Copies of this chain bind each other. A is one copy, B any other.
Protein backbone atom coordinates (compact mmCIF):
# COMPACT_ATOMS: atom_id res chain seq x y z
CA UNK A 1 0.00 0.00 0.00
CA UNK A 2 1.18 3.52 -0.76
CA UNK A 3 0.16 4.61 2.68
CA UNK A 4 3.57 5.88 3.62
CA UNK A 5 2.96 9.62 4.05
CA UNK A 6 1.31 11.64 6.79
CA UNK A 7 -2.06 10.25 5.84
CA UNK A 8 -3.31 6.81 4.88
CA UNK A 9 -6.06 5.67 2.54
CA UNK A 10 -7.04 2.37 4.12
CA UNK A 11 -8.59 1.04 7.30
CA UNK A 12 -6.30 -1.72 8.59
CA UNK A 13 -2.91 -3.03 7.64
CA UNK A 14 -0.75 -0.40 9.35
CA UNK A 15 1.48 -0.15 12.39
CA UNK A 16 0.18 2.60 14.69
CA UNK A 17 1.62 6.05 14.10
CA UNK A 18 0.87 7.21 17.59
CA UNK A 19 -0.30 5.82 20.92
CA UNK A 20 -2.59 7.66 23.33
CA UNK A 21 -3.72 7.00 26.88
CA UNK A 22 -7.26 5.84 27.59
CA UNK A 23 -9.47 8.74 28.63
CA UNK A 24 -6.92 11.48 27.89
CA UNK A 25 -7.64 14.14 25.28
CA UNK A 26 -5.38 14.57 22.28
CA UNK A 27 -5.52 16.68 19.16
CA UNK A 28 -5.09 15.71 15.52
CA UNK A 29 -5.10 17.49 12.20
CA UNK A 30 -7.37 15.99 9.57
CA UNK A 31 -7.23 16.82 5.89
CA UNK A 32 -10.29 17.27 3.70
CA UNK A 33 -11.28 14.46 1.35
CA UNK A 34 -9.32 16.01 -1.52
CA UNK A 35 -6.14 16.32 0.58
CA UNK A 36 -6.53 20.09 0.50
CA UNK A 37 -5.72 20.17 -3.21
CA UNK A 38 -9.06 21.25 -4.61
CA UNK A 39 -8.88 24.95 -3.99
CA UNK A 40 -10.82 26.67 -6.75
CA UNK A 41 -13.96 26.28 -8.80
CA UNK A 42 -11.94 25.42 -11.88
CA UNK A 43 -10.05 22.64 -10.12
CA UNK A 44 -10.42 19.09 -11.36
CA UNK A 45 -11.37 16.77 -8.50
CA UNK A 46 -10.29 13.56 -10.21
CA UNK A 47 -6.94 15.05 -11.21
CA UNK A 48 -5.97 16.56 -7.88
CA UNK A 49 -7.22 13.60 -5.88
CA UNK A 50 -7.45 10.59 -8.21
CA UNK A 51 -9.17 7.52 -6.87
CA UNK A 52 -8.22 5.73 -4.64
CA UNK A 53 -6.23 8.64 -3.17
CA UNK A 54 -9.37 10.20 -1.76
CA UNK A 55 -10.47 10.53 1.83
CA UNK A 56 -7.03 10.71 3.53
CA UNK A 57 -7.13 9.43 7.06
CA UNK A 58 -5.22 10.50 10.13
CA UNK A 59 -3.99 7.44 11.99
CA UNK A 60 -3.93 4.76 12.95
CA UNK A 61 -3.81 5.82 16.57
CA UNK A 62 -3.38 3.06 19.14
CA UNK A 63 -5.02 3.35 22.54
CA UNK A 64 -3.13 2.04 25.55
CA UNK A 65 -4.60 -1.00 27.20
CA UNK A 66 -7.16 -1.74 24.50
CA UNK A 67 -7.40 -5.44 23.68
CA UNK A 68 -9.17 -7.00 20.73
CA UNK A 69 -12.81 -7.38 21.75
CA UNK A 70 -12.88 -4.35 24.04
CA UNK A 71 -15.32 -1.53 23.37
CA UNK A 72 -13.83 1.86 22.58
CA UNK A 73 -15.72 5.03 23.50
CA UNK A 74 -14.45 7.61 21.02
CA UNK A 75 -15.47 11.07 22.16
CA UNK A 76 -15.22 14.21 20.03
CA UNK A 77 -14.30 17.02 22.40
CA UNK A 78 -14.03 19.78 19.81
CA UNK A 79 -13.69 20.36 16.07
CA UNK A 80 -11.83 23.52 15.05
CA UNK A 81 -11.88 24.36 11.33
CA UNK A 82 -8.30 24.54 10.07
CA UNK A 83 -9.19 26.74 7.07
CA UNK A 84 -11.62 29.51 6.27
CA UNK A 85 -13.08 27.59 3.34
CA UNK A 86 -14.46 24.22 2.43
CA UNK A 87 -15.09 22.61 -0.94
CA UNK A 88 -17.92 20.64 -2.53
CA UNK A 89 -18.46 19.04 -5.92
CA UNK A 90 -20.86 17.38 -8.27
CA UNK A 91 -19.15 14.80 -10.44
CA UNK A 92 -20.11 12.44 -13.25
CA UNK A 93 -20.94 8.90 -12.13
CA UNK A 94 -21.19 9.98 -8.52
CA UNK A 95 -23.89 10.86 -6.07
CA UNK A 96 -27.39 9.57 -5.38
CA UNK A 97 -28.91 11.35 -8.39
CA UNK A 98 -26.50 9.87 -10.91
CA UNK A 99 -25.68 6.46 -12.23
CA UNK A 100 -22.51 5.10 -10.69
CA UNK A 101 -20.06 2.31 -11.36
CA UNK A 102 -22.07 0.16 -8.93
CA UNK A 103 -25.48 1.10 -10.37
CA UNK A 104 -24.84 2.24 -13.94
CA UNK A 105 -27.14 3.57 -16.62
CA UNK A 106 -26.70 4.51 -20.27
CA UNK A 107 -27.64 8.20 -20.06
CA UNK A 108 -25.18 10.99 -20.84
CA UNK A 109 -23.24 11.96 -17.72
CA UNK A 110 -23.94 15.00 -15.56
CA UNK A 111 -21.34 17.78 -15.69
CA UNK A 112 -18.73 18.39 -13.06
CA UNK A 113 -18.96 21.47 -10.83
CA UNK A 114 -16.92 22.73 -7.90
CA UNK A 115 -18.06 25.12 -5.16
CA UNK A 116 -15.79 26.87 -2.68
CA UNK A 117 -17.76 27.68 0.45
CA UNK A 118 -16.27 30.36 2.73
CA UNK A 119 -17.01 31.20 6.34
CA UNK A 120 -18.98 34.38 6.85
CA UNK A 121 -17.56 36.79 9.45
CA UNK A 122 -19.93 35.38 12.07
CA UNK A 123 -18.16 32.01 11.85
CA UNK A 124 -21.51 30.27 11.91
CA UNK A 125 -22.41 30.40 8.24
CA UNK A 126 -20.79 29.18 5.04
CA UNK A 127 -21.53 30.89 1.76
CA UNK A 128 -20.74 30.52 -1.90
CA UNK A 129 -21.84 32.05 -5.18
CA UNK A 130 -24.25 30.42 -7.59
CA UNK A 131 -23.92 30.51 -11.38
CA UNK A 132 -26.68 33.09 -11.57
CA UNK A 133 -24.88 35.35 -9.11
CA UNK A 134 -27.05 34.48 -6.12
CA UNK A 135 -25.50 33.89 -2.73
CA UNK A 136 -25.98 30.42 -1.25
CA UNK A 137 -25.55 30.12 2.50
CA UNK A 138 -25.93 27.26 4.96
CA UNK A 139 -25.27 26.91 8.69
CA UNK A 140 -21.90 25.62 9.96
CA UNK A 141 -22.58 22.14 11.36
CA UNK A 142 -19.20 20.49 11.89
CA UNK A 143 -18.67 16.76 12.14
CA UNK A 144 -16.34 14.01 11.02
CA UNK A 145 -17.58 11.99 8.07
CA UNK A 146 -15.06 9.27 8.84
CA UNK A 147 -14.19 7.73 12.19
CA UNK A 148 -13.40 4.09 12.67
CA UNK A 149 -11.03 1.33 13.64
CA UNK A 150 -9.09 -1.43 11.92
CA UNK A 151 -11.67 -3.91 10.50
CA UNK A 152 -12.35 -7.35 11.89
CA UNK A 153 -10.74 -10.53 10.59
CA UNK A 154 -7.66 -8.75 9.21
CA UNK A 155 -9.54 -7.19 6.35
CA UNK A 156 -8.06 -4.06 4.78
CA UNK A 157 -10.59 -1.63 3.31
CA UNK A 158 -10.24 1.58 1.34
CA UNK A 159 -11.04 4.74 3.30
CA UNK A 160 -14.26 5.39 1.39
CA UNK A 161 -15.98 2.41 3.03
CA UNK A 162 -18.29 2.43 6.03
CA UNK A 163 -18.89 -0.77 7.97
CA UNK A 164 -19.26 -2.35 11.38
CA UNK A 165 -15.82 -0.88 12.12
CA UNK A 166 -17.26 2.62 11.68
CA UNK A 167 -15.39 4.32 8.85
CA UNK A 168 -16.94 6.59 6.29
CA UNK A 169 -20.30 6.93 8.05
CA UNK A 170 -21.12 10.56 7.17
CA UNK A 171 -23.62 10.84 10.01
CA UNK A 172 -24.05 14.53 10.98
CA UNK A 173 -24.62 13.65 14.65
CA UNK A 174 -20.94 12.72 14.90
CA UNK A 175 -19.93 16.24 15.87
CA UNK A 176 -18.63 18.04 18.95
CA UNK A 177 -19.81 16.38 22.14
CA UNK A 178 -20.73 13.04 20.56
CA UNK A 179 -19.37 9.66 21.56
CA UNK A 180 -19.04 6.78 19.07
CA UNK A 181 -18.75 3.29 20.49
CA UNK A 182 -16.96 0.70 18.35
CA UNK A 183 -15.47 -2.68 19.10
CA UNK A 184 -11.70 -3.06 18.83
CA UNK A 185 -10.71 -5.76 16.39
CA UNK A 186 -7.07 -5.81 17.39
CA UNK A 187 -4.96 -4.82 20.36
CA UNK A 188 -4.59 -1.06 20.49
CA UNK A 189 -7.80 -0.58 18.53
CA UNK A 190 -6.12 1.42 15.76
CA UNK A 191 -8.31 4.46 15.30
CA UNK A 192 -8.64 6.36 12.00
CA UNK A 193 -10.25 9.78 11.60
CA UNK A 194 -10.79 12.21 8.73
CA UNK A 195 -13.28 13.52 6.19
CA UNK A 196 -14.20 16.65 8.12
CA UNK A 197 -17.48 18.24 7.07
CA UNK A 198 -18.31 21.91 7.73
CA UNK A 199 -21.91 21.14 6.71
CA UNK A 200 -23.84 18.33 5.08
CA UNK A 201 -27.46 17.63 4.38
CA UNK A 202 -28.89 14.22 5.23
CA UNK A 203 -27.78 11.62 2.73
CA UNK A 204 -24.81 13.58 1.35
CA UNK A 205 -26.80 13.48 -1.87
CA UNK A 206 -24.34 15.07 -4.28
CA UNK A 207 -21.56 12.85 -2.96
CA UNK A 208 -19.59 15.48 -1.07
CA UNK A 209 -20.37 17.60 1.95
CA UNK A 210 -18.69 20.97 2.46
CA UNK A 211 -15.35 19.27 2.89
CA UNK A 212 -12.90 20.92 5.26
CA UNK A 213 -9.79 20.35 7.33
CA UNK A 214 -10.06 20.28 11.12
CA UNK A 215 -7.94 20.44 14.22
CA UNK A 216 -9.89 18.00 16.33
CA UNK A 217 -9.58 17.07 19.97
CA UNK A 218 -10.70 13.57 20.95
CA UNK A 219 -10.51 11.26 23.90
CA UNK A 220 -10.87 7.51 23.73
CA UNK A 221 -11.82 5.42 26.72
CA UNK A 222 -11.26 1.70 26.87
CA UNK A 223 -14.34 -0.20 28.02
CA UNK A 224 -14.84 -3.84 28.87
CA UNK A 225 -16.05 -6.26 26.20
CA UNK A 226 -19.85 -6.41 25.79
CA UNK A 227 -21.40 -9.60 24.48
CA UNK A 228 -24.43 -7.79 23.08
CA UNK A 229 -22.43 -5.25 21.14
CA UNK A 230 -22.30 -5.48 17.38
CA UNK A 231 -22.79 -2.41 15.16
CA UNK A 232 -21.43 1.04 16.17
CA UNK A 233 -23.39 3.06 18.69
CA UNK A 234 -23.59 6.80 19.07
CA UNK A 235 -24.39 8.75 22.23
CA UNK A 236 -25.02 12.46 22.69
CA UNK A 237 -26.22 14.36 25.73
CA UNK A 238 -29.80 13.68 24.74
CA UNK A 239 -29.89 10.49 22.68
CA UNK A 240 -28.50 6.99 22.26
CA UNK A 241 -28.51 5.29 18.89
CA UNK A 242 -27.21 2.49 16.72
CA UNK A 243 -25.66 2.83 13.27
CA UNK A 244 -26.65 0.56 10.38
CA UNK A 245 -24.55 0.16 7.25
CA UNK A 246 -25.86 -1.69 4.19
CA UNK A 247 -27.36 -1.46 0.76
CA UNK A 248 -30.18 -0.96 0.06
CA UNK A 249 -30.93 1.59 2.76
CA UNK A 250 -33.79 -0.67 3.89
CA UNK A 251 -31.31 -3.13 5.31
CA UNK A 252 -29.25 -0.41 6.99
CA UNK A 253 -32.44 0.66 8.74
CA UNK A 254 -33.15 -2.94 9.77
CA UNK A 255 -29.68 -3.20 11.32
CA UNK A 256 -29.98 0.11 13.17
CA UNK A 257 -33.49 -0.43 14.48
CA UNK A 258 -33.03 -4.07 15.50
CA UNK A 259 -29.78 -3.05 17.17
CA UNK A 260 -31.44 -0.27 19.12
CA UNK A 261 -34.35 -2.47 20.15
CA UNK A 262 -31.96 -5.07 21.56
CA UNK A 263 -29.81 -2.43 23.26
CA UNK A 264 -32.84 -0.73 24.84
CA UNK A 265 -34.06 -4.11 26.04
CA UNK A 266 -30.68 -4.82 27.59
CA UNK A 267 -30.40 -1.43 29.27
CA UNK A 268 -33.94 -1.23 30.61
CA UNK A 269 -34.94 -4.82 31.31
CA UNK A 270 -37.93 -4.49 28.98
CA UNK A 271 -38.67 -7.64 27.00
CA UNK A 272 -37.96 -7.46 23.27
CA UNK A 273 -41.58 -6.77 22.33
CA UNK A 274 -41.88 -3.83 24.75
CA UNK A 275 -38.52 -2.44 23.63
CA UNK A 276 -39.68 -2.87 20.03
CA UNK A 277 -42.87 -1.01 20.86
CA UNK A 278 -41.10 1.86 22.63
CA UNK A 279 -38.56 2.33 19.85
CA UNK A 280 -41.27 2.13 17.23
CA UNK A 281 -43.27 4.97 18.82
CA UNK A 282 -40.35 7.29 19.55
CA UNK A 283 -37.24 6.68 17.45
CA UNK A 284 -35.54 9.05 15.06
CA UNK A 285 -33.97 7.76 11.85
CA UNK A 286 -31.27 9.93 10.37
CA UNK A 287 -29.79 9.01 7.02
CA UNK A 288 -26.03 9.54 6.90
CA UNK A 289 -25.11 8.95 3.32
CA UNK A 290 -26.48 7.26 0.24
CA UNK A 291 -23.42 7.62 -1.95
CA UNK A 292 -20.77 5.36 -0.41
CA UNK A 293 -20.24 1.70 -1.29
CA UNK A 294 -22.78 1.10 1.49
CA UNK A 295 -25.43 3.43 2.89
CA UNK A 296 -25.68 4.52 6.51
CA UNK A 297 -28.39 5.42 8.98
CA UNK A 298 -28.62 6.19 12.69
CA UNK A 299 -31.60 5.02 14.74
CA UNK A 300 -31.72 6.91 18.02
CA UNK A 301 -34.02 7.50 20.95
CA UNK A 302 -34.20 10.16 23.63
CA UNK A 303 -32.54 9.05 26.85
CA UNK A 304 -35.42 10.70 28.73
CA UNK A 305 -37.66 7.83 27.61
CA UNK A 306 -35.40 5.11 29.00
CA UNK A 307 -35.59 5.92 32.70
CA UNK A 308 -32.64 5.64 35.04
CA UNK A 309 -30.26 3.79 32.79
CA UNK A 310 -26.67 4.42 31.87
CA UNK A 311 -25.10 3.43 28.57
CA UNK A 312 -21.77 1.64 28.79
CA UNK A 313 -21.26 2.53 32.42
CA UNK A 314 -21.60 6.27 31.94
CA UNK A 315 -18.63 6.62 29.58
CA UNK A 316 -20.22 9.49 27.66
CA UNK A 317 -20.82 11.58 30.78
CA UNK A 318 -17.24 11.01 31.95
CA UNK A 319 -15.76 11.96 28.60
CA UNK A 320 -18.09 14.94 28.31
CA UNK A 321 -16.39 16.34 31.39
CA UNK A 322 -13.18 16.92 29.46
CA UNK A 323 -12.79 20.66 28.84
CA UNK A 324 -13.22 21.53 25.15
Chain A residues within CB distance 8 Å of chain B: 1-2, 10, 12-13, 52, 88, 90, 95-99, 101-111, 113, 115, 117, 128, 130-132, 134, 136-139, 152-158, 199-206, 208-210, 230, 246-251, 253-255, 257-259, 261, 268-274, 276-287, 290, 295, 301, 305, 307
- The answer, among B10, B101, B250, for a CB contact under 8 Å with A248, is B250
A247-B246 in contact (CB<8A): yes
B199-A281 in contact (CB<8A): yes
B115-A277 in contact (CB<8A): yes
- A130-B274 CB under 8 A given contacts A249-B249, A280-B206, A287-B285: yes
A201-B282 in contact (CB<8A): yes
Q: Which residues of B contact A105 (CB under 8 A)?
A: 97-99, 105, 107, 110, 254, 258
Question: In the complex, A107 Cα to B261 Cα: how many Å?
Answer: 13
CB distance from A77 to the nearest CB of B (A): 25
B280-A204 in contact (CB<8A): yes
Question: In the complex, A131 Cα to B268 Cα: how many Å?
Answer: 12
Q: Which residues of B contact A301 (CB under 8 A)?
A: 201
- The answer, among B1, B95, B153, B250, for a CB contact under 8 Å with A249, is B250
B157-A155 in contact (CB<8A): yes
Q: Which residues of B contact A115 (CB under 8 A)?
A: 277
Q: Which residues of B contact A128 (CB under 8 A)?
A: 277
Question: In the complex, A145 Cα to B287 Cα: how many Å?
Answer: 21
CB distance from A156 to the nearest CB of B (A): 4
Nearest B residue (CB) for A129: B274
Nearest B residue (CB) for A255: B104
A254-B104 in contact (CB<8A): yes
B156-A258 in contact (CB<8A): no
B156-A154 in contact (CB<8A): yes
Nearest B residue (CB) for A153: B52
B156-A13 in contact (CB<8A): yes
Q: Which of A261, A282, A284, A307 has the most chain B CB within a 10 Å cutoff?
A: A282
B155-A10 in contact (CB<8A): yes
A271-B102 in contact (CB<8A): no
CB distance from A196 to the nearest CB of B (A): 14
Question: In the complex, A251 Cα to B100 Cα: how many Å?
Answer: 10
CB distance from A267 to the nearest CB of B (A): 12
A269-B154 in contact (CB<8A): no
A106-B246 in contact (CB<8A): no
CB distance from A316 to the nearest CB of B (A): 22
Q: Which residues of B contact A113 (CB under 8 A)?
A: 273, 277
Q: Which residues of B contact A157 (CB under 8 A)?
A: 155
CB distance from A143 to the nearest CB of B (A): 13
